[in-house]
Structures are given as C-alpha cells and as structure tokens.
Amino acid sequence: MNTYFSFVKKYEKLLDEGKQLPLGGFKKLDLPALPENPKTVLLFSPHPDDECVIGALPLRFRRELLMNVKNVAVTLGCKKERQYGRLEELKNACKFLGFELVQTKENGLENINLETRENDKRQWTKNVDCIQQILSIEKPEIIFIPHKKDANSTHIGVNYLVLDALDKMPSDFSCHVIETEFWSPLDSPNLMIESSIDDVAALVAATSFHVEEVKRNPYHLLLPAWMMDNVRRGAELVGKQGGNAPDFTFTTLYRITNYTDDKFNNGKIFSKNDNLKEFFER
C-alpha cells in the first residue's frame, strides 16, 4: 500500500468530522479593550464572509495592535431575498471577531462591477461618493480591498470603486492599501502573515456564522487547507525563489502599498510570534 494513503485518508476523515460541527452561535472572542482614539482599519468587503476569509491580518491588528477594525459591507449579495439574512449573519460574525460594521446602504450597494463603471457613470459616481464619505469620516490608517484580478466581478468592482474614491480624497490624505486574494491568487504578493492555531480556529468559527452560505458549500472547513497552501506559495512569491520555506503552518498572502508613495515594495514575512509593532518600521 502507498505509504501516504493513510495520511491522505485522515484529511478526508477530518473534513467529514468538521461537517458535524455546529455553525455560528459561539461566544465572542476575548479581546483586549481598545484605547481611546485607536487607529482605524477598514475592510471593504464585496460580500458578507469576505471579512472572515481574508481576516488573518485584520484580526492580528485588532488583537495585537489594538486597532479598531471596521468591516465596510459594500454589498449584501445579489439575491435580494437573502440580503436581510446575510446582514444578520454578518453582524454576528463581526461581533464574534470584535470588528465593527459599517453599512454603505440599508441593503448594500448594487451592481458593483466594471460594467456599471463603464456604462452607468451616474450610478457609479454615486457609489464612489458613498465610499469617499466613509473614508472621510473614518480616516483609516489601513484599508483592505480585493486585488484587480480577483476573478469575481464584484471583487474586481470593489477594487476599482475604492481606488476611484481614493482619487477624490484631499491631497493630504494617506493610508496603507492592502490588497487581498480570494477567488484568484495575487500575481505579486509582498506580505506573508502567519496565523496561530487560535486565530485560524477563530476565522473558521467566524465564517461558520454565515450559516446559510456554508450550508450550501462548507468552505469554512477548507480555510485551514487554503492557508496551508499559502505557505508553499508565499515561500516562493514573498520569500526567495528556490529558497527554504519558513516553518509555518498557516499563512495569508497580501500585497501592501502606501497609496501616495508606493512604500513596502519588498517582501515582508511575519511569523505568529513577530511583534506587529514593527509592521510599519520594516
């Protein structure tokens, strides 16, 4: 028998066991209190659940740097009959993670894609103005957006939407822009963030709060495997090509720049034990 048969079989069994676990309803994470006037992080999420899937670094910002992480619900999905339900699931997931929730509109923005940007400039301008207003009010230190080739039309649309809003901000506005990947990998990530077992478990649990979504597709159970594969990719794409992989189990890849001066061009790797206070000094 192939030596690795039993090894692979355990993966299958583990996944089956995961399907029996409860969805949502967990007590919120025990996180340190925020200081007065904390720095703000904005996650511009195309859909409810994106805040969980790409949430490794935001969760570390909240836990370790005591930054106020706010999830901007750009849309609530395209199925109108599910928008209220998805909003309630999103509220529960954000509460669990210690993230605040910012709504664009009661039912979210609609048709956030390149077709609207090209063919309905009036509506697109209204949407851009909505995002610009949020940026002006929140004055974030850091924002998270999907990258330009993230395959899903709404993910791509959110990238252009937020960048268009940034272009309308005053000249003295500055923030770090962190691009995320979900549906399609980043071509050139420059940031590799390791997560602890506690943090990965928290992200899986948070994703499970999106109950109706994971019932039809239990992608929350695949999040650890995705983060494990990111170690392989990050070792070559963020680290040195052909070099040794870091001794990590779970990582998430990002691309970070400063919106005004394109800072952070070189690859940065942070282990779960690294002090993120050095994040802006590397």
Please give the sequence-ordered ranges of beta strands (E in DSSP) within 175-264, or none if there are none: 176-180, 191-194, 251-258
Distances (CA, A) of 166 to 133, 136, 145, 180, 235: 10, 10, 12, 17, 32
pLDDT-derived band at 244, boundaries 50, 70, 90: confident
pLDDT, one tens digit per residue, over 159-175 is 999 999 999 999 999 99
Q: What are phi and psi of 46, to 5 degrees?
A: -60, -40
pLDDT for residue 261: 56
Q: What residue segments make up the domains of the chain, in order of their start?
A: 38-278
CATH architecture of the domain with residue range 38-278: 3-Layer(aba) Sandwich (3.40)
pLDDT for residue 57: 97
Is residue 279 predicted with pLDDT exceeding 70?
no
Would you tell me how many other CB atoms lie within 10 Å of the CB of residue 126? 11
**Region 238-254: what's the mean pLDDT?**
92
pLDDT for residue 242: 86
pLDDT, one tens digit per residue, over 89-106 is 999 999 999 999 999 999
Residues 119 and 117: their CA atoms lie apart, in Å, by 6
Helix, strand or coil, per DSSP, at residue 268? strand
Q: What are phi and psi of 247, to 5 degrees?
A: -80, 65
pLDDT for residue 278: 74
81-114 burial code (b ≥16 CB/10 A, e <16): eebebbbebbbbbbebbbbbbbbbeebbbebbbe
Angle made by CA atoms 255, 273, 247, in degrees to the nearest 5: 75
Residues 278 and 262: their CA atoms lie apart, in Å, by 18
pLDDT-derived band at 282, boundaries 50, 70, 90: very low
pLDDT-derived band at 265, boundaries 50, 70, 90: low
Distances (CA, A) of 14 to 10, 18, 20, 119, 214: 6, 6, 10, 48, 17
Compute and round to an integer the Cα radius of gyration of the chain.
19
The neighbouring-strand residues paired with 102 are: 72
pLDDT, one tens digit per residue, over 37-83 is 999 999 999 999 999 999 999 999 999 999 999 999 999 998 999 99
pLDDT for residue 137: 97
Please give the sequence-ordered ranges of beta strands (E in DSSP) within 84-226, or none if there are none: 100-103, 142-146, 176-180, 191-194
Residues 127 and 75: their CA atoms lie apart, in Å, by 11
pLDDT-derived band at 243, boundaries 50, 70, 90: confident
pLDDT for residue 215: 97
Residues 70 and 143: their CA atoms lie apart, in Å, by 10
pLDDT for residue 241: 84
**Region 272-282: what's the mean pLDDT?**
77
Please give the sequence-ordered ranges of beta strands (E in DSSP) within the chain, or none if there are none: 40-45, 68-73, 100-103, 142-146, 176-180, 191-194, 251-258, 268-270
Is residue 87 predicted with pLDDT exceeding 80?
yes
Percent of the chain with pLDDT over 70: 96
Residues contacting residue 144 through CB under 8 Å, at least 6 positions apart? 41, 42, 43, 44, 54, 57, 58, 178, 179, 180, 254
Note whether 225 and 218 are within 8 A (CB): no
The neighbouring-strand residues paired with 193 are: 252, 270
* Chain mean pLDDT for the chain: 94
